[in-house]
Homo-oligomer: A and B are copies of this chain.
Amino acid sequence: MAMTPTRADDVCDADTRALLEDRFEVRWAGDQLDSAELARLADGAEIMITSWGTPSLPAELFGERGPRIVGHAAGTVKRLVPQELLGDRLTVFSAAARIAWSVGEYCLAACLALHRRLPAYDSRTRSGGWKPQGEFRGRELRGRTVSLIGGSSTARAFRTLLAPFDVRVQLYDPYLTAEQAEQLDVTLVDLPTAMAADVVSIHVPDLPATRGMITADLLARIPDGSVLINSARAGAVDPDALTAEIRSGRLQVALDVYAPEPPTLPPELTAAGNVLLTPHIAGDSVEGHQALVRFVLDDVIDFLDHGRRGASWVDPARWAVLA
C-alpha cells in the first residue's frame, strides 16, 4: 500500500481493509514515501496500490522482484508509472472512472443551480428581497440542449445523470466512433455546433491538442443565458476571453479548475453574481474517495483470478489520449 496512513484513511474503507488483510499479506507504508520506503514496499510484492501523494515510480522498482500490477486509487497514471513497462511487464488499473462519478454529480449540481439561478435568488433573499421582477429568472433543464466537450469518463457520468431530463445531448470528441456515440445516447457534432447549446460542459484531458481549444470565437457562440461548466482543465479555455464573457454577465459560469492552482482571482470574478467558484473539488467527495481502493482492488482480484481486464484497466494503446 504505497500511500501514507492519512491517504489510506481517505481512500480505503474498513470493509476493503478487511478484504485486503484477508486475501493478501499487506505492507502498509509509513508517513514518508521516499525511495527507501518504496523499495521496501515493492521488494517481493505482487501488487502495488497507489494514490495521490505516491511519487513517480521508477522503472527499477519493477525489476525481477517488483510488482507486476499497479492499482492506482486515484486518477491519472501518466506521471506515476513508466509508460514503456505497460503491457506484458506491468498491468495498471486506475480509479479514474470512479472519480468521474463525483465529477458527474458536481456537473449536474452546478448545471442545475446556475440554470435555475439559485445563487442569485439566494443572494437576493438574504438581502431582504423577494421575487425579482424581470431582472433574472430560473430556467428548466428538461428538453434543453446539453453539449459535452470531450467524451471522457466524467462526460459519461454526467450524461448518465441527465437521462431523466429528456435533454438533447451533443458531444464533440474527435476520437469517438458513431457506434460509441449511439451507446452513450449522444449526437456527435463539430466544435462550433457544440458551443450553440443551453449547457456547455468541458471534459477534455490536458493535451497539446486541447490547450486553448476553446477560443474567444467559440465562447462567443454560446447563446446568452446559457451555462458553461469547466471541471476538466483550465488550459482548455482562453483565459482572457473567459473573463470578458463572465464580466459581460451574459453567461452563467461554473469553474472548478484554474491556472495556476490555487489561483489569484481578479475582483471581477470574485464579485461576479454569475459564477460558481469551487477549489478543484469536482472529483472530491467523502464517499467517492472512500470507494477508490475497492474500485481498483475488485478489478485486480478479477485479473488475478480470471485474467480479466475490468473497467479500471489502463489500456496502453490509449496512453496518448489519457487525462
Contact = CB atoms under 8 A, between A and B. Distances in A.
Given A109-B109, A122-B119, A140-B105, A129 B279 contact: yes
A106 B119 CA distance: 12
A109 B101 contact: no
Interface stretch (A64-72, A201-209, A281-289, A300-308): A281-289
A61 interface: no
Interface in A99-122: 101-102, 105-106, 108-110, 112-113, 116, 118-119, 121-122
Contacts of A79: none
A279 B141 contact: no
B101 A138 contact: no
A161 interface: yes
Contacts of A141: 105
Interface in A116-155: 116, 118-119, 121-122, 124-132, 137-144
Contacts of A32: none
Nearest to A262: B130
Contact of A140 (B113, B126, B287): B287
Given A137-B285, A140-B285, A278 B121 contact: yes
A145 to B, nearest CB: 12
Contacts of A277: 121-122, 125-126
A130 B163 contact: no
A140 B109 contact: no
Nearest to A117: B281
Given A113-B118, A116-B285, A287-B142, A130 B160 contact: no
B102 A108 contact: no
Contact of A112 (B105, B137, B164, B265): B105
Contacts of A108: 108, 112
A165 interface: yes
Contact of A164 (B121, B132, B163, B278): B163
A131 to B, nearest CB: 5
Contacts of A262: 130
Given A105-B112, A164-B161, A118 B285 contact: no
A218 interface: no
Contacts of A210: none
17 contacts: A105-B116, A105-B141, A105-B142, A106-B116, A109-B109, A121-B278, A125-B277, A126-B265, A126-B271, A131-B280, A131-B281, A137-B284, A138-B286, A140-B287, A142-B287, A144-B287, A161-B165
